[in-house]
Amino acid sequence: MSEIEDKRWASRFILPEQRAGLAKMAEGRRKVKKPQLDAQQIEDMEITVAQSMEYGATLVFDIYDGGYIREVVGAVQYVDHIRKEFRVKDAKGDTNFVRFTDIINVKNAPSD
């Protein structure tokens, strides 16, 4: 067998354990470290949330979730200072609990 044929066949045989290991490595590369916010960023987000609550505007929260960043879009319904979280109602009517410490960015949702 030539070297080209060896490579062609070698790439077709991957054990399930190898496939799982490769998937885990790829998943690990997509994870990010939690960004550290400075006082000005936190103040800007607080102002954005306060204005949203006053006018009922929809916000986009960027949330750090175990190495990944996800978005929560909705209007802030309640601020729970004891549990340190926002209650955000999304377009489907579901309530999302967004912890203060998980928020990395807040911005106004684009108007359609």
Q: How many CA atoms lie within 13 A of 51 on its CB side?
A: 11
Residue 29 counted as domain residue: no
Instruction: State pLDDT tens for residues 42-68.
Output: 899 899 999 888 888 899 999 998 888
Ranges under pLDDT 50 in the chain: 1
Give me the residues paired with residue 97 across strands. Answer: 87
Q: How many CA atoms lie within 13 A of 53 on its CB side?
A: 12
What pTM was computed for the model?
0.69
For residue 73, give the CATH number of its domain.
Answer: 2.30.30.100
State how many domains the chain has: 1
Domain that holds residue 79: 39-108
